[in-house]
Amino acid sequence: MTWRHRDGTVITSISDVAQPWSPDALTVLPLNMLGTVLLRHCVANENVTVLWDKKVTDVGSDEKGAWAVVEKKDGGVERWTADYICGCDGANSQVRKSLFGNEFPGHTWDAQIIATNVYYPLDKFGYDDINFIIHNEDYYMAAKITTDGLWRVSYGEDTKLSLAEVIAHQPTKYERMLPGNPKPGDYKLLNVGPYRIHQRMAPKFRVGRILLAADAAHLCNPFGGLGLTGGLVDVGGLAECFAGMQMGVADDTILDKYDEMRRLKYQEVINPVSSDNFLRVSATDPKEALVKDEFLMMVEKARTDKATRDELDQGVFAVCHDFTQYYNKQPKEAARL
């Protein structure tokens, strides 16, 4: 992982981000591949049923149970009941809207990010697997997403540009910011997807028997990969809560802990770190990055100082929270979790 000037020269870097020697090694997968892995596990687990083409249009709960109103593909409507419901239905979550209407406090950045997938041999120009280019106008992230030469290049554009203007401007942007100053015939562009970026958190992650997790509960800009990661650790924590209740070692007040601790993690880790990540690439003077940006100064120090490197690697786990600590006893079953 390398931070660079717009001309490609290196500011600083972390080698072996995937920590191949570590039992907690990171694996970086594009979302579609991760989705395939998750689905395979769900299908193999007899406790999980995956249903397609069902749209939740409302949810509610009382002291006895929770319910969801579900619209089927043929237009039919069903009412499903459950002990608890967790809304993991993404940024435009209907479950969140059923609980809070349009209330989703936070802010939207004054930038649009253009996610492009492109075949262009960035590694021939010395690019590493993940590259952050620091520049006030031409900031971008370039990450290798397959082994056959496909790269994700995400760059910033003015929010005033329409989709047509973004598409028309893309060749100029590429030529100006990518190494080798490529013209359209020099690369194979697969897609261009503009999107707005937000820092937002729902007022609560638990209301009665309804829970929220992942993008339904909180949003952050994608620089640093804390969106998906934050969602995964939400559902991991929630699974620990439900497992504790199921085994009789926790009552449902553990779900209040889920609400409290996952919101705290957003406020103390995900929101500030992802905001810093975005400001680092888009609003930092690259010439001063190694004397003013504390994180990059730490990265630079970690190149030669093992203790700093260990601290940096362990920082990844700051988003996690262990909910088994709230179990009121530790049965044999709990040890299996």
Ligand X SMILES: Cc1cc2nc3c(=O)[nH]c(=O)nc-3n(C[C@H](O)[C@H](O)[C@H](O)COP(=O)(O)OP(=O)(O)OC[C@H]3O[C@@H](n4cnc5c(N)ncnc54)[C@H](O)[C@@H]3O)c2cc1C
Contacts with ligand X, residue ranges (CB under 6 A): 31, 55-56, 88-90, 94, 115, 195, 214-216, 222, 225, 227-229, 231
CA distances from 6 to 9, 125, 283, 322, 335 (A): 7, 13, 13, 41, 51
Nearest approach in angstroms of CB 305 to ligand X is 28
What does DSSP assign to residue 99?
Answer: H
Give 126 or 193: the residue with its C-beta nearer to ligand X: 193
SS3 59: strand
Nearest approach in angstroms of CB 195 to ligand X is 5
Give 106 or 225: the residue with its C-beta nearer to ligand X: 225
CA distances from 193 to 116, 154, 223, 257 (A): 6, 9, 16, 38
Give 234 or 300: the residue with its C-beta nearer to ligand X: 234
Strands 150-157 and 106-119: what pairing? antiparallel
Nearest approach in angstroms of CB 221 to ligand X is 9
Nearest approach in angstroms of CB 211 to ligand X is 13
Give 77 or 291: the residue with its C-beta nearer to ligand X: 77
Strand-pair partners of 133:
4, 140
12 alpha carbon, distance to own chain's centre: 24
Nearest approach in angstroms of CB 319 to ligand X is 10
Give 45 or 181: the residue with its C-beta nearer to ligand X: 45
Sheet holding 77-82, edge to edge: 54-61, 66-72, 77-82
Give 73 or 160: the residue with its C-beta nearer to ligand X: 73
Give 227 or 286: the residue with its C-beta nearer to ligand X: 227
Handedness of CA 40, 322, 227, 58 (dihedral sign): positive
Nearest approach in angstroms of CB 304 to ligand X is 29
Nearest approach in angstroms of CB 290 to ligand X is 25
Q: Give the whole-angstrom CA distance, residue 295 versus residue 234.
A: 25
- Answer for the pair 215, 227: CB distance below 8 angstroms, yes or no: yes
Q: What angle do CA 92, 95, 101 make, to 5 degrees?
A: 75
